[in-house]
Structure 1
């Protein structure tokens, strides 16, 4: 890739990170291109679909989440503690960009897409943490990591939706940490 093309790509990813954090993943691609100082054609040459741009924004972060999962598996004797710490990081990450949790939930089953491929290593790492806990008798064996990921996605979407309803001041804010604790309690083997 030529130096100017690489700079344009890096600038688009940088602007998209900021725009997604502010306005969610449905931010106008035209606005991202404008803020990056490039034409929309340049954006589409680098990222033919919105999903390709989202995948580029997430790539480094998902690689770090996968690395953290490996470290937790090595450093935490208790698989419950390891998975709880990792799922907390995952939920916090998914909450960074409004709409991301649904996009990830849909993409993880399709490795032919850029986002699906970007998610794969992160999903594999989470799956290894869950399976380790299942082998050690900490977690129910009838649950898959995709079940857990769907629940985490649901938590993030519920918190997002509650925060988008300013007319419901009578409703207490949802705590993603409390909801995640409820999910983790459901994963655990009862006689532990």
Structure 2
């Protein structure tokens, strides 16, 4: 019998668009639940937020570690993909950078919700920090380079350093109602402007 697929080997089945959309909805719901209640939130609460049955979650993510890894990767991808979109749709590269940093702050808030699990020593989490750096440092660098090229910001700030600074400003934001991390991040962003 002839090879119908054209000969490059077995094909990997792709998820249908509705299945990908449902998975994104589930991951967004899990991220929100993790931020609100921690990574030990009952699966039924995540299912209720996502509007699916508990079995659907276990079908996609057999273990809690699988779900945590998927949420983390989903959040990293959303943040990384936002960079080029913001550059294309913002009035200036500086505006795109500022908007991206605010998305990064949202990601960091989710990440802090996952921090305890990520530091648990579970082998499933070992590669996540490298994945974070590999995807987000280049996204931030692209935005910084565009804003520098436009003459809008100082040129001596690196992506990694900026992201570390933003992350440091966000520590404790969820536990101290007297601390406004977004305000501190706004001051940092304003400090990048060329005078």
Fold shared per TM-score above 0.5: yes
Which residue of structure 2 aligns with residue 149 of structure 1? Answer: 163
Counterpart selection for 1:125 from 139, 150, 173: 139
| Runs of 4 or more consecutive aligned structure 1 residues displaced over 6 Å after TM superposition | 12-15, 35-38, 101-104
Which residue of structure 1 aligns with residue 87 of structure 2? Answer: 73
User: Normalization by structure 1: what TM-score?
Assistant: 0.61
- Structure 2 regions of 5+ residues with no counterpart? 1-22, 47-53, 119-125
Which residue of structure 2 aligns with residue 175 of structure 1? Answer: 180
Question: Mapping of 1:15-34 within 5 angstroms?
Answer: 17=31, 20-24=34-38, 27=40
Q: 1:13 to 1:87 in 2, by over 3 A?
A: closer
2:186, 2:32 → 1: CA distance?
A: 30
Q: 1:55 to 1:75 in 2, by over 3 A?
A: same
2:36, 2:171 → 1: CA distance?
A: 16
Which residue of structure 2 aligns with residue 4 of structure 1? Answer: none
User: Are the aligned partners of 2:31 and 2:110 in contact in 1 as well (CA < 8 Å)?
Assistant: no
RMSD (CA atoms) = 3.8
- Structure 1 regions of 5+ residues with no counterpart? 1-9, 105-111, 164-172
Counterpart selection for 1:43 from 45, 60, 63: 63
2:117, 2:84 → 1: CA distance?
A: 25
Cα offset for 1:57? 1.1
1:140, 1:22 → 2: CA distance?
A: 37
Q: 1:103 to 1:120 in 2, by over 3 A?
A: farther
Q: Which has the larger radius of gyration?
A: 2
For this pair of structures, how many residues does the alignment match?
A: 155
User: Are the aligned partners of 2:173 and 2:181 in contact in 1 as well (CA < 8 Å)?
Assistant: yes
User: Are the aligned partners of 1:101 and 1:156 in contact in 2 as well (CA < 8 Å)?
Assistant: no
1:155, 1:175 → 2: CA distance?
A: 9
1:117, 1:97 → 2: CA distance?
A: 13
